[in-house]
Structure 1
Amino acid sequence: MITTLEPELPFAKRVMPRTLETFRVRGGMDMAFGAQVLRGASALEITEFCGTRTRSVANLAVRSGAGVGGKALSLGRPVSVTSYLAAQGITHAYDHAVRPEAIETVAVLPVIVEGQPRWGIYLCNRTQVGLGDRWFDSLAPLIRKLEREIAVDDEVRRRLAMFRASVPAPADNGLTRDELRDIAAELGDLASQIQDATLRAKMEAMRDRFAPKPPSAAATGSVSPLAPREVDVLEAVARGLSNAEIGEALGLLPNTVKSYLKTAMRKLHAANRVQATLVAREAGLIR
């Protein structure tokens, strides 16, 4: 059976602690909460937090349209107030959770992936702070980064579920070498997009599990020999370096690296750089 590669901890526990602290510091606020949107976007639940003095907000479910978070969820855009308990235009159903933390300023930034709200990031202060467009703009890159991480995590889970459901163990699956190579290339491409080091390593292990074993030296005659620089470039690609990093390491211009890589891909009949490294490894051309 294929070893499952689900992360040991869910996305919230793996990513949110460092993410919330980054938001809190960048925003210059006292505390930050992470609230996951519940199914159907009917509410969001605060499950992660940093900088708090109590647990008054722990597992607080905020209905869509209610409070600052629910309003941000229903509108699909950031919402803020500078004097929470006296604020007009929001409901005060959650004052009981706000009071123990002495919160004055609240801003909630929705995290939207493929048109669907997934999280709400609360940034709160115990004093009144005027939040202008520049403040919100400074946090936009963090929101975009978090949205990309969620999208990648979704794709990891989707593909792993697909492989578990449809692909038996590589040792006895009856797949052709080309099919195994394509699966390994897809997993390698996905691994390169994952920022979480632990999950990336697991995805790379899955890639190596599906990659066809290198053929014997006698079986490699069908692959065109690579020039020494093409071998150098492919070995650098296999280590996960970008074209710019390869150029710096080998003393080449990025366009020259691209040219060597393109030629190597043509010789190896590979569709992309990941597939090229797999074919080269099979042929014993790179380590």
Structure 2
Amino acid sequence: MLTQERSDDDVRLVAGAVRDLARRTHFPVAFGGLFSDGSVSVTSVVGSRTRSLDGLSVRPERGLGGRAMVELRPRMTRDYRSAQHITHDYDGHILGEGITTLLAVPVVVDGRARGVLYGGAWASQGVGDVVAAPAFQVADALAAELRVREEVRRRVAKLAPAPLASARLSAPLREELRESYAELRQVASGIVDPALRRRLEVIERRLAAISGDSGIVRDTAAAGRSAGDVSLSPREIDVLACVALGATNAEIAGSLGLREGTVKAYLSSAMGKLDAATRHAAVTKARRSGLLP
């Protein structure tokens, strides 16, 4: 089990997943949290009738959620009080809320449990595919978002501290900067969380401040990007950043989660705005305009 640092953004992400689980399943109670400092601390609860779930912290192998974490698969009991296949470390929390049926779904990222989502009911009830499938989907979506966030953090940490904007970069460093910029945009392309998106824009501005000979600092507002009379959309910038690394349209489509025809449309639009006859000329003009590092 890997210890992870839990950020405020992650706590908000879990809260959204718990609300989604409650909305998409028939469970009247939903709760969950992420793994940090050796246990999963429940940070979000929806639908409870008491405050018994407050402060619940689940360790690996303990309770239904701890077993789900270790086995990396969902676990369920229709009669929590008499369940013999789990430890009863957390009876004060679960039975205090009056929960009888309990489903625990681990949030698995790269083969490790990063958290647990729970669905509970005050009466014994069967949990068929109609109920379980949406719970699994919510956990998978949460895992995917955590995976993207962790990759972004890893790449951001790799880039810090940024070189001074006034320093003239050598050719190898400039290419490394451009590659890191393109990779960052690829990873961030699927992020919808506004707070995390703003943090990424700050990083992009740092990269722009050391953008080679021009030293132009660009505006990276999510609504679009402009320099002089040229204005490119975020997706057009994404595509050009990949083109700058020599990626084909098919490769760009795969990395950004787009159709190849959509990539061609974005590229054609960017070329038209930049008055560029070829994709490579578009990259050159974008760099001269301060739209790419």
Amino acid at match of 1:25: R
1:191 aligns with 2:196: no
Q: Name the counterpart of 1:87.
A: 83
Cα shift readout 1:150-194 (whole Å, capped 9, x = no counterpart): 1011112111221125x3233436354444333322222222132
The 1:61/1:236 distance shift into structure 2, 3 A limit, reads closer
Gaps of 5+ in 1: 1-7, 217-230, 244-252, 271-275
Matched, 1:200 2:211: no
Identity of aligned residues (%): 31
Tell whether 2:280 aligns with 1:269.
Answer: yes
Equivalent-residue separation in structure 1 for 2:290 and 2:157 (angstroms): 33
Q: Note if contact 1:23-1:32 (Cα within 8 Å) is conserved in structure 2.
A: yes
- Give me the whole-angstrom Cα distance separating, in 1, the residues matched to 2:153 and 2:291: 31
In the alignment, is the contact (CA less than 8 A) between 2:73 and 2:105 conserved in 1? yes
Matches of 1:256 and 1:88, distance apart in 2: 54
In 1, are the aligned partners of 2:26 and 2:131 still within 8 Å (CA)?
A: no
SS in structure 1 of the partner of residue 96 of structure 2: helix
Select the residue among 161, 165, 169 that pairs with 1:170. Answer: 165
Verify: 1:284 aligned to 2:284, yes or no. Answer: no
TM-score where L is the length of structure 1: 0.71
Match for residue 116 of structure 2?
120
Output the aligned Cα RMSD: 3.6
Q: Is the partner of 1:72 in helix, strand or coil? A: helix
In the TM superposition, what is the alpha-carbon distance from 1:239 to its structure 2 partner?
A: 7.0
Whichever residue aligns with residue 69 of structure 1, its letter is: G
Which residue identity does 2:113 align to in structure 1?
P
In structure 2, how many angstroms separate the alpha carbons of the residues matched to 1:214 and 1:257?
29
Q: What is the correspondence of 1:109-188 to structure 2 with a 5 Å cutoff?
A: 109-165=105-161, 167-172=162-167, 174-176=169-171, 177-188=174-185
Tell whether the 8 Å contact from 1:38 to 1:45 is kept in structure 2 after alignment.
Answer: yes
1:255 aligned residue:
261
Asked whether the 8 Å contact 1:21–1:32 carries over to 2, the reply is yes
Compared CA separation, residues 50 and 73, structure 1 to 2 (3 A): same
Pairwise mapping of residues 193-232 of structure 1 onto structure 2 (< 5 A)?
193-211=190-208, 212=211
1:260 and 1:87 map into 2 onto residues whose CA distance is 56
Which amino acid letter does the alignment assign opposite residue 153 of structure 1?
R
Aligned to 1:29: 27
1:66-86 CA-to-partner distances (Å, cap 9, x unmatched) read 221122122211111112112
Letter of the aligned partner of 1:78 in structure 2? P
Letter in 1 for 2:280: H
1:102/1:190 CA distance change after superposition, 3 Å: same
Shift in Å, 1:147:
0.9
> What is the CA deviation profile of residues 207-250 of structure 1, one whole-angstrom value per residue up to 9, with x for unaligned ones?
2331327959xxxxxxxxxxxxxx99x65733779x9xxxxxxx
The Cα offsets for residues 111-167 of structure 1, whole Å up to 9 and x where unpaired, read as 1111111111011112222101332223332222111111011112111221125x3
Q: 2:101 touches 2:124 (CA, 8 Å); kept in 1?
A: yes
Given that 2:9 and 2:196 are in contact with CA atoms closer than 8 Å, whether structure 1 keeps it comes out as no
TM-score scaled by structure 2?
0.70
Q: CA deviation at 1:256?
A: 7.9
Q: Which has the higher helix share?
A: 1
Further displaced range: 82-91 or 118-127: 82-91
Residue 47 in 1 paired to residue 43 in 2? yes
With over 3 angstroms needed to count, the CA separation of the structure-2 counterparts of 1:281 and 1:239, relative to structure 1, is closer
What amino acid is the match of 2:194? A
- Residue 19 of structure 2 aligns with an amino acid whose one-letter code is E
